[in-house]
Amino acid sequence: DAGVTQSPTHLIKTRGQHVTLRCSPISGHKSVSWYQQVLGQGPQFIFQYYEKEERGRGNFPDRFSARQFPNYSSELNVNALLLGDSALYLCASSLGAHNEKLFFGSGTQLSVL
């Protein structure tokens, strides 16, 4: 069975550009969460989506947005990229909205130059 898949695996952008990251959850999982992991730190919560609705949002600026599609896949969008947005972006899925046991993908490594 396929795990959580994320694309692309690596991405290089310049300041001011916009980026879209994609995530496909494990089959049957209806909840998707996004986390940002800066080098040397633990992952930090950005968003949770369940049944296409936003269920939670972390302390990130409005430049960050996300959505979930009818097939439960998800996109994370970041506008007006800053150097500080360089990080590993992790997607995680779970069966339900309140299941803490998350299954993570391998992440998208974003570098902003």
Comparing CB distances to another protein, the nearer of 7 and 14 is 7
Segment near another protein (CB under 8 A); pick from 11-19, 32-40, 61-69, 76-84: 32-40
CA dihedral 17, 83, 108, 28 (to 10 degrees): -80
DSSP code for 96: S
- Does 66 contact another protein by CB under 8 A? no
Q: Report, in Å, the least distance between residue 43 CB and another protein.
A: 5
The two beta strands, 53-57 and 44-50, are antiparallel
Q: Cα separation of 105 and 62, whole Å?
A: 24
Chain residues binding another protein by CB under 8 A are: 4, 31, 33, 35, 40-45, 48, 55-56, 58, 90, 92, 94, 97-107
